[in-house]
Amino acid sequence: MNVHTYAWLAWLISGLVVLTTTRNPLIILLVDLILILFQVWITPPSKKFMGTTLRFGLSVLVLSTVLNMFISRFGQTILFNLPTNIPLLGGNYTLEALIYGLTNGLILIGMFTLFMILNQVVSVHALVRLIPQAFHPVAVVTTIALTFIPASQKQFQAIREAQAIRGQQLKKLRDWLPLIIPLLIGGLERAMQIAEAMTARGFTAQSDRKIPWFEKTLLPLGLIFILLGWILELSTQLPLSGGWMILAGLLLLLVLFFISGKRVNKSTYVQEAWSQISTWICLFALLLILAFVIKIPGHLVLAYEPYPLVQLPGFSILHGLLTLTLLTPIFLLGEVKHDQD
């Protein structure tokens, strides 16, 4: 897709802002539906999607709702109650707690789907390229970690099957133990193999240049400034008394990263081109963020609270329409090319 990774990140941030600035279940539900539609659009036809996603979504909803009903006993609409002499479980179970838990579940589904989409549209390498040069080893370790997840999932499946063919049925928690040990050991073995392969391909070849003394002092100096600034902020009532010191410390760290980055002798294979589509995606993302953080008409419905007595949530047509901007990439790109299986 001809969209810059930064544009995808802007899109992700706008989605996260929406999901974290409102508790209105109707708007969150709308966002979830938009994101699921988005994921259906980008998922190759050969991959299982709906079944897995629906199962996951349903289990998140049930879990967060039930958990909240157990934890929160507030609210006036009592659905049922258990005798109070039952430890932990006794007491009222309310509709308000159910709605609150349900909303939590919807937010989690939205966030999960956002990251799933990002994972599908942006390659691991493109994401890692955004990490500054000074953190090159961190960047590659992140790469490994990200490629490790699908590999571990495959391995987990293989081990589960391997245990089943030895007569192991997963009925009790204890039965899962034989799966964990080979998974951990296999994971470590695989990590060693990747590390070995990376070393053989020249990773972490250090330059012979010595680190100058002033560069060595930047890190401790920056940290001292931040720490002192923080202490000042906490101990004095004067506005911004320590803020300047924290800012100075952060600046020192930035200088350090810039200098260290220059020292890393490495090049990048692809420089992503910025496209007009990327500009539009960023603009719409900014619009969406502003709409949810600035008080525009209809903003009052965003702060929905089911406690103490549940009421029907309101709905802002303006905010509802603006959430549709999350579909901007679909409208601008038209179609998506799937990788062959």
Partner 1 sequence: MIRIDQLTYRYPGAEKDAIQINELLIPAGKFCLVIGESGSGKSTLLRLINGLVPHFTGGTLGGQISVAGLDPVKSGPQMMSRQVGFVFQEVENQFVVDIVEDEIAFSMEQAAIPRSEMQTRVKQILRKLNLENLKTRKVDSLSGGEIQRIAIAAALVLEPKILVLDEPTSQLDPLAAEEVLILLKQLQQDLGLTIVMSEQRLDRVLAYADMVVILSPDGQLREVGLPQAVIQKCALKPPIVQLAEKRGWFPVPLDVEQARKFNQDEKFESREKTSFEITSQALIEVQHVHVNLGKCVVLKDIDFSLHAQERLVLMGPNGAGKSTLLRTLLGLIAPNQGEILFKGKKIEFEHTAELSYNIGYLPQDPNALLFSETVQQELETTLRNHQIPVQTKSLEHLLTQLNIQTKASAYPRDLSTGEKQRVALGAVVVTHPEIIILDEPTRGLDQQTKNALLELLLEWNQNGKTILLVTHEVEFAAAFASRILILEDGQIISQGDPRKIMRTHPRYTTQIARLYPETDWLTLNDLPW
Selected binder of partner 1 within 91, 132, 186, 298 (CB under 8 A): 186
Q: How far is the CB of 19 from partner 1 (least distance, A)?
A: 27
Is residue 153 involved in binding partner 1 (CB under 8 A)? Answer: no
Q: How far is the CB of 226 from partner 1 (least distance, A)?
A: 33
Is residue 181 involved in binding partner 1 (CB under 8 A)? Answer: yes
Confirm if 162 and 179 have CB atoms less than 8 A apart.
no
**Among 176, 144, 172, which Cα is nearest to 160's?**
176
Q: How far is the CB of 202 from partner 1 (least distance, A)?
A: 4
* Integer Cα distance of 19 and 109 in angstroms: 10
**Among 258, 251, 9, 246, which Cα is nearest to 135's?**
258
Confirm if 105 and 65 have CB atoms less than 8 A apart.
yes
Question: Which residues, 122 to 141, sit near partner 1 by CB under 8 A?
Answer: 123-125, 140
Separation in Å, CA 79 to CA 40, 44, 63, 85, 209 = 36, 43, 18, 19, 71
- Give the three-state DSSP class for 313: coil
Burial of residue 70 (number of CB atoms within 10 Å: 0-12, 13-18, 19+):
middle
Is residue 341 involved in binding partner 1 (CB under 8 A)? Answer: yes
Residue 61 CB: number of other CB atoms within 10 A?
17
* Segment interacting with partner 1, rule: CB under 8 A, options 10-18, 32-40, 188-196, 236-244: 188-196
* Segment interacting with partner 1, rule: CB under 8 A, options 5-13, 14-22, 195-203, 274-282: 195-203
Q: What is the CA radius of gyration of the chain?
A: 25
**Among 160, 115, 99, 141, which Cα is nearest to 9's?**
115
Is residue 150 involved in binding partner 1 (CB under 8 A)? Answer: yes
Count the site residues for partner 1 by CB under 8 A: 55
Is residue 120 involved in binding partner 1 (CB under 8 A)? Answer: no
Is residue 196 involved in binding partner 1 (CB under 8 A)? Answer: yes
Selected binder of partner 1 within 85, 235, 237, 267 (CB under 8 A): 267
Is residue 59 involved in binding partner 1 (CB under 8 A)? Answer: no
Q: How far is the CB of 153 from partner 1 (least distance, A)?
A: 11
Length of the chain: 341
151 vs 221, which CB is nearer to partner 1? Answer: 151
Selected binder of partner 1 within 80, 85, 86, 202 (CB under 8 A): 202
Question: Interface residues with partner 1 (CB under 8 A)?
Answer: 45-48, 123-125, 140, 143-144, 147, 150, 155, 158-159, 161-169, 178, 181-182, 185-186, 189-190, 193-206, 265-271, 339-341
